Structure 1
Amino acid sequence: MNVGKSLFVNVLKNVFVSVFVSLIITACSTDDDTSLQSYTLEDLEVMHNNSSKTWRLQAYYRNYDTNLSEQNDCLVDDIYTFKPAGEVDVISGTESCYYGGSEIAEAQYTFYEESGSVFFTMIRGKITEDITSSTSFSLKLTDLSANRMVFSASDSLDNASALVFVAD
């Protein structure tokens, strides 16, 4: 009978611990969760001032705010001019990222009105005679103000790749 009571107490403890842990996990605040961030066409005016706005890449992080990407130096010397309708003009700096002196850089942003999401796509490439080589990536807009934009590989900036732009 003592064994049955002991078993019952252990099961009861396990149930109590499971419920307690579940409550803690589900009660955690998501105040800094940017997945709820959505944008409107009016919000995007900050990006391009209804005609064009120049931005400089402040940093390209492999892990946001802690670890710069190995491509940081070659991207921060570029100038990005955002325009309406998803256009981005890129003036490449002196340091190439992938393809040496013949590298070309292009970018665009895409606005998905239904979800309020904005994605920035960077393309680096090289065209030589009959061969085209390119590298590209897309990141989601997670922070936008008059002087700063952050595009990230994740809705949460924790341990995510991120591009941080500052107004020029």
Structure 2
Amino acid sequence: MFNCSKDDEIETGFTTLDLQKIDGNSSKTWQVDSFYSNYNSNILSEFNDCYTDDTFTFYKDKNVAEANLGGINCFFDNPTDQAATLTYSINELEGRVFLNVSRGESFNNDFQSRLTILELEELTENRMLFASGDKGNYIQTLILTAIN
């Protein structure tokens, strides 16, 4: 015998209207506020400093954000080249959004990179929280704050 309760209701994801908060229905720039290796334990990632001076501009109808990297590097003190890409995919049926952040730097013949895939968990006009882990028990987490 099964009993249904409100706790058993299927959660609905983000709607198309919700997702307009990401790009402001045109373009919108976001600053990385913090990058956690364990959000629930309040442990910042070793890459927090090199991410928090970066901004990403999201554009309507594009699933790629324009990266503007700050002056703090992630892997080398003075890289000869550095790049970051931020793409996102939307599962409209389930209302889920996945973020793919890749960052790389080279110094002469050495190259290091990092790839992170997170799911959108919280979205307001001014804040986005992307995380891995169970809802409410986030591990790796990237928080962005709107700057325009």
Same fold (TM over 0.5): yes
- Compare the two structures and name the one with the higher helix fraction: 1
More relative contact order, 1 or 2 (CA 8 Å, 6+ apart): 2
Residue in structure 2 matching 1:122, options 91, 101, 114: 101
Output one character per residue of 1:113-168: Cα deviation in whole Å (capped at 9) or x when no partner. 12111011111124689987532111000000001100001242425111111111
Q: Does 1:79 align with 2:58?
A: no
The whole-number CA distance in structure 1 between the counterparts of 2:11 and 2:75 is: 35
Q: Retained in 1: the 8 A contact 2:12–2:94?
A: no
Q: Does 1:60 align with 2:35?
A: yes
- Compare the two structures and name the one with the higher strand fraction: 2
Q: Does 1:41 align with 2:20?
A: no
The whole-number CA distance in structure 1 between the counterparts of 2:121 and 2:87 is: 16
Q: Does 1:93 align with 2:70?
A: yes
Distance 1:37 1:148, change over 3 A: farther
Which SS does the other structure have where 2:49 is aligned?
helix
Structure 1: which 5+ runs fail to align? 1-28
Q: Retained in 2: the 8 A contact 1:63–1:162?
A: yes
Runs of 4 or more above 3 Å deviation: 126-134
Distance 1:131 1:164, change over 3 A: same
Q: Does 1:153 align with 2:132?
A: yes
Output aligned runs, 1:7-18, within 5 Å. none
Give aligned pairs, total: 139
TM-score normalised by length of structure 1: 0.72
Alignment-derived partner of residue 24 in structure 1: none
Tell me the percent identity. Answer: 32
Which SS does the other structure have where 2:118 is aligned?
strand
Which letter maps to 1:156? K
TM-score normalised by length of structure 2: 0.81
